[in-house]
Amino acid sequence: DTGVSQNPRHKITKRGQNVTFRCDPISEHNRLYWYRQTLGQGPEFLTYFQNEAQLEKSRLLSDRFSAERPKGSFSTLEIQRTEQGDSAMYLCASSLEASSYEQYFGPGTRLTVT
Amino acid sequence: AQSVTQPDIHITVSEGASLELRCNYSYGATPYLFWYVQSPGQGLQLLLKYFSGDTLVQGIKGFEAEFKRSQSSFNLRKPSVHWSDAAEYFCAVGGPEFGNEKLTFGTGTRLTIIP
């Protein structure tokens, strides 16, 4: 399977705990995006990388959130001191720079904060 | 700022009937427009896209969409739906005008197919 993969698929955590999600993009794609989708809503942009450089962050990305893409391949999204409002589906997408608006999405990580 | 409105939260159609899902956008210049489909528990799959040129675009699974600049619309159509088309459909807009790479999505339309 050469699509975008995300791990874990589901995560249940208690409020105040830290969580980390991983995204592996399509291998030749140098752009990687994170979106958040809450129930009944469309995905909302969080941040994106070109290779290892983080080029834009949404104001939705509070200081409790940090994303990295250290070698320009996989990416991690960490949420510190989770809150119930962080419960959502976290989606990763990747694209080629030349057609950056044509984004291919992974299956997502569903986070539940209890 | 760019935005997308999908006025229908939920649509029910009979199998074999035609389908039209509405999408209106707000964007300053010529937008890039997309339709994605999301099945339960799954990520989003790109159905079709419009960048420029012919305003009627064909996608996968027999879907098509028409860009109408005068109406700021990009409605999705299918002449005959199948039970497997039941899913959530999202319209999205993007473009280089604001120098960013993000897609802005609508709130989605849930499609139910009845026998």
Coil, strand or helix: which one is B85?
Answer: helix
Q: Which residue of A has its CA nearest to B6?
A: A42
Radius of gyration over alpha carbons of chain B, in Å? 14
Q: What mean pLDDT do residues A4-24 have?
A: 97
One-character DSSP codes across A23-42: EE--TT--EEEEEEE-TTS-
pLDDT of residue A41 exceeding 80: yes
Residue reference for tokens 């752009």: A31
Residues of B within 8 A of A4 (CB-CB) are 43
In this prediction, residue A1 carries a pLDDT of: 54
Asked if B60 has any chain A CB less than 8 Å from its own CB, the reply is no
Query: What are the angstrom distances between the C-alpha of B103 and each of A13, B3, B80, B106?
Result: 29, 10, 29, 10
Q: Which residue of A has its CA nearest to B39?
A: A107
A107 falls in which pLDDT band (50, 70, 90)? very high
Asked if B39 has any chain A CB less than 8 Å from its own CB, the reply is no
Q: Do A107 and B42 touch (CB under 8 A)?
A: yes
* Number of Cβ pairs < 8 A linking chain A and chain B: 58
Q: Which residue of A has its CA nearest to B100?
A: A56
A104 falls in which pLDDT band (50, 70, 90)? very high
In this prediction, residue A101 carries a pLDDT of: 77
In this prediction, residue B95 carries a pLDDT of: 76
| Interatomic CA distance for residues A61 and A90, integer angstroms | 12
Could you tell me if B102 and B94 are in contact, meaning their C-beta atoms sit under 8 angstroms apart?
Answer: yes
State how far residue A78 is from chain B, nearest Cα, in angstroms.
20
**CB proximity list for A99: less than 8 A, separation 6 or greater:** none
Q: Do B107 and A48 touch (CB under 8 A)?
A: no
Instruction: Indicate the average pLDDT of chain B.
Output: 91
